[in-house]
Amino acid sequence: MYPWEAIARMVRAQGVEFTWGVGDSQLQLYAGKAPGLRGVNLRYEGSAPFMAMAYSRLSGMPGVCSASTGPGVANLIPGALEALYACSPLVMICPSVNQKTEGMGEFQECDQLGMMRPVTKWCARVHDVNRLSWYVRRAFSLALNDQPGPVFLEIPNDVGGDITHGLPIDIEEPSYTPAERIRSAGDPAQVRKAVDLLVGAKRAVIIAGNGAMLSGARESFRELVELLGLPFATTPGGRGIVSERHPLALGGVGLYRNHVTAEYLRHADVVLAVGTRNEAFQTHRWRDLPAGAKLIHADISGAEIGRNWLPDVGIVGDASLVLQQMLAEMHGRRDARADSALAEMVRRQKEHLFTEVDEECRTAEYPIPAKRVVHEVSSVFGDGTVLVNENGSQDSWSYFYPYYTVGDDSACVTVAEQTCMGMGVVGAIAAKLTAPDKNVVCITGDGAFQMYMKELPTAAQYGAACTWVVLNNSALGWPMYYQMNTVGWNTTSYQVQPDFQAIARASGCHGRRINGSGELRPALEEALRLNTQGVPVVLDVPTGLDMSHFERAE
Ligand SMILES: Cc1ncc(C[n+]2csc(CCOP(=O)(O)OP(=O)(O)O)c2C)c(N)n1
Ligand SMILES: [Mg+2]
């Protein structure tokens, strides 16, 4: 058996269903040799890590991607960077040049490990084919455990074989024991202190971050929310942990919060942050912790405790286990119960907010304001949808509840603090392949869309029937806003803009430009219908530049 075939079989034995990459990397070539493993052949290696991350987010499995030597591997770097900050378990397995001729001007030789080191948790070269399974297992184990993250493994051509240069290597299939995720609970004394604070609070709040999602804490999170009647908010990474239709859902935090959340947080007396690093975007540059409030911070990594805000109670442990510990502690206490007056206050304030948002979005303006587009997408796509977020100014509205509501049986595929443009555009394709029974919609700016629309034919080829709603303001709106408000000139609008409708059609997808305000809803309904018939859809929606979400967050 060829070593790369053995690697493909190990990847499959790990429970992984897809490898993402451009077909000339050995792992992509051999994926088909491992029954049940599907090598998705992309147009650009840069898409591969983002798609592996989206797969991981929805499946709970590690994401796997690959690229060929030199420039192929270099193209993985932005995705690896994103995965590092998203704590996404990403395993990149790539070839490297023949060690016997390395340094002599070998074709595509370069310092791949050196390039990858700053953007991975761990990277290594397999020197000996007899240790192949040790390295692959180690890669998966490190990606999955502690604070999850990206790892890079390179297999030199004299170890793994290089069929394009006539260097096949024959080995016995090595045995492989899949890597396990090993969880650890929090310090019981700290958990008890946290419970005392929560039970004694008058106005507590619980914030879920990406770590809570990664640990699969949906059930315990909901139980805690309901036992204490605790209003909850989420970072983009934690969004969807419990449906935003829940009466105690407040929506996003930091840059993405609405004014009901802002008001609630302003007077909170205890904040429980679970699986979040409290980064700048999530905290208004660390201004959001109310004066005098007690902070409980639970995270899988001790290094995150006290990174910015110093907690009153720090707990190191898997979010799901820590929440279960808190619940177990509370079940023995009679004072652990919900405050119905608090729930009623939140319900009333939210009703006002719903009315306000509905009114704001009831407009026939054209170009169509982004918030209306987002609100209509939310209502047409509805529950059971995977919302894939992008990075721009106008799609920011999609991070805002209740302009968009992540409802029942729904999920989000989102980015981390690096906010790399294009991740959502290609992540949507992987999301649909991972969850074919769900509706998948990506709300993106025209800039981010143009960076990665090269994968539209991939969506058509693999029948990844998702919808891209392109908020088209013919500009890199976010920098344009700052440019206009500071220096006063604009170099970020596009004087030449491609015809997205034509590009979609030429790529095997359906494309439609919205030419009037009344066309939006029927076009969204048509997109959803086409998606259920297996057709990917691009909607080109002319929109302006509305930065009033900044005011919403105040
Ligand atoms: C790869 C990458 N490059 C640059 C940025 C910085 N950036 C953030 S938003 C943005 C503009 C996005 O434009 P578009 O997608 O059209 O959205 P708009 O702001 O116009 O709504 C830029 C350049 C980034 N986040 N990622
Ligand atoms: Mg734009």
Per-residue pLDDT band for 124 (boundaries 50, 70, 90) equals very high
- Distance, in Å, from the CA atom of 398 to the CA atom of 405, rounded to the nearest integer, reads 9
pLDDT at 488: 86
Domains identified in the chain, total number: 3
The CA 449 to ligand 1 mean position distance, Å, reads: 10
Please tell me the distance from the alpha carbon of residue 18 to that of residue 303, in angstroms, as a whole number: 32
Same domain, 379 and 287: no
Say how many C-beta atoms besides its own lie within 10 A of residue 438's C-beta: 18
Is 194 inside a domain boundary?
yes
Residue 551 banded pLDDT, cuts 50, 70, 90: confident
Counting from 1 in the atom list of ligand 1, the atom nearest the Cα of 422 is 1
Cα of 425 vs centre of ligand 2, distance in Å, is 14
The label of the residue with tokens 């109310």 reads: 290
Q: What confidence tens digit (pLDDT) does each residue in 196-217 have? A: 999 999 999 999 999 999 999 9
User: Between 553 and 123, where is the model more confident?
Assistant: 123
> In angstroms, what CA-CA distances link 296 with 238, 264, 309, 319, 492?
17, 17, 10, 12, 42
Task: Provide the pLDDT for residue 446.
Answer: 98
In this structure, the answer to whether residues 327 and 383 fall within a common structural domain is no
Within 6 A (CB) of ligand 1 lie: 391-395, 419-421, 445-448, 471, 473, 475-479
pLDDT band at 489 (very low <50, low <70, confident <90, very high): confident
Domain of 224, in residue numbers? 188-347
Give a yes or no: residue 180 inside a domain: no
pLDDT value of position 108: 94
In a mutational test of the pocket of ligand 1, which residue from 393, 414, 540 has the highest number of ligand atoms less than 8 Å from its CB? 393
Task: Answer yes or no: is 174 within a domain.
Answer: no
Helix, coil or strand: residue 25: coil
**Residue 165 confidence (pLDDT):** 75
Same domain for 343 and 365, yes or no, is: no
* Proximal ligand: closest to the CA of 482: 1
**For the chain, first and last CA: distance in Å?**
61
pLDDT at 188: 98
Do 338 and 199 belong together in one domain?
Answer: yes
In whole angstroms, give the CA distance from residue 374 to residue 514: 14
Ligand nearest to the CA of 395: 1
Q: Give the residue among 44, 34, 41 at the shortest CA–CA distance from 20.
A: 41
At 449, give phi and psi (nearest 5°): -60, -40
Q: Which are the contacts of 41, defined by CB distance < 8 A and separation ≥ 6?
A: 21, 22, 23, 28, 458, 461
**CA dist., res. 203 & res. 354, Å (int):** 22
Mutate to test the pocket of ligand 1, among 397, 444, 478 (most ligand atoms within 8 A of CB): 478
CA of 432 to the centre of ligand 1 (A): 24
DSSP string, 425-477: HHHHHHHHHHSTTSEEEEEEEHHHHHHHGGGHHHHHHHT---EEEEEE-SB-H
For the chain, the average pLDDT equals: 96
| Same domain, yes or no: 234 and 157 | no
Return the SS3 of 554: coil
- Tell me: do 117 and 17 sit in the same domain: yes
Q: Are residues 331 and 435 located together in one domain of the fold? A: no
Give domain status of residue 302, yes or no: yes
Least confident of 160-174, 264-278, 438-452, 459-473: 160-174
pLDDT digits (tens, 9 = 90+) for 320-366: 999 999 999 999 888 888 889 999 999 999 999 999 999 999 999 99
What atom of ligand 1 comes closest to residue 418's alpha carbon? 25
Instruction: Classify residue 337: in a domain, yes or no.
Output: yes
Structure tokens at 542: 């002319």
Domain boundary among 324, 347, 370: 347
Give pLDDT tens digits for 297-308. 999 999 999 999
Nearest CA to 484 out of 416, 390, 393 is that of 393
Q: Are 502 and 511 in contact (CB under 8 A)?
A: yes
**Closest by alpha carbon to 393, among 542, 547, 243?**
547
Q: Could you tell me what percent of the chain has a pLDDT over 70?
A: 100
Strand 122-125 to strand 150-156: parallel, antiparallel, or no bridges (unpaired)?
parallel
The residues near 64 (Cβ < 8 Å, ≥ 6 apart) are 11, 16, 18, 19, 20, 27, 52, 90, 91, 92, 93
pLDDT in tens, 49-106: 999 999 999 999 999 999 999 999 999 999 999 999 999 999 999 999 999 999 999 9
Nearest CA to ligand 1 atom 9: 392
Asked whether residue 334 falls in the same domain as residue 403, the answer is no
Give yes or no: residues 321 and 213 share one domain.
yes
State how far the Cα of 456 lies from the Cα of 15, in Å rounded to an integer.
Answer: 27
pLDDT bucket at 166, cuts 50 / 70 / 90: confident
Say if 541 falls within a structural domain: yes
Work out the pLDDT band at 168, boundaries 50, 70, 90. Answer: confident
How far apart (Å, rounded) are the C-alpha atoms in residues 249 and 243? 8
- Of 245 and 491, the structure prediction assigns the larger pLDDT to 245
Stretch 481-499: mean pLDDT: 91
Verify that 376 and 322 share a domain, yes or no.
no
Give the residue from 302, 320, 347 where a domain finishes: 347
Nearest CA to ligand 1 atom 4: 421
Q: Are residues 542 and 403 in the same domain?
A: yes
Q: What is the CA radius of gyration of the chain?
A: 24
Instruction: Tell me, in angstroms, the distance from the centre of ligand 2 to residue 447's CA.
Output: 5
Closest CA to ligand 1's atom 3: 421
Q: Which of 314, 347, 380 is where one domain is finished? A: 347
Ligand 1 atom at shortest distance from the alpha carbon of 394? 21
pLDDT digits (tens, 9 = 90+) for 500-549: 999 999 999 999 999 999 999 999 999 999 999 999 999 999 999 998 88
CA of 365 to the centre of ligand 2 (A): 18
- Sign of the CA dihedral running 494, 500, 502, 504: positive
Residue 163: per-residue pLDDT? 75
User: Tell me, what's the pLDDT at 176?
Assistant: 98
- pLDDT at site 375: 98
User: Is residue 132 a part of any domain in this protein?
Assistant: yes
- CB under 8 A, 24+ apart: contacts of 141-147: 141/179, 141/180, 143/62, 143/89, 143/90, 143/91, 144/62, 144/89, 144/179, 144/180, 144/181, 145/179, 145/181, 145/182, 146/300, 146/301, 147/87, 147/121, 147/300, 147/301, 147/303, 147/304
* 527 closest CA partner among 469, 473, 472, 483: 469
Residue 429 lies in a domain: yes
Q: Give tens-digit pLDDT for 231-285.
A: 999 999 999 999 999 999 999 999 999 999 999 999 999 999 999 999 998 999 9
**Sheet (strand 294-299) strand order:** 249-252, 232-234, 204-208, 270-274, 294-299, 313-316
Q: Do 343 and 393 fall into the same domain?
A: no
> Which ligand 1 atom sits closest to the C-alpha of 451?
1
Q: For 171-176, what is the mean pLDDT?
A: 96
CB neighbours (10 Å) of residue 250? 27
Please say whether the dihedral angle defined by the alpha carbons of residues 412, 417, 420 and 421, taken in this order, is positive or negative.
positive
CATH number assigned to the domain comprising residue 334: 3.40.50.1220
**Secondary structure element (H or E) that encloses residue 239, with its range:** none
CB-side exposure of 139: number of CA atoms within 13 Å?
31
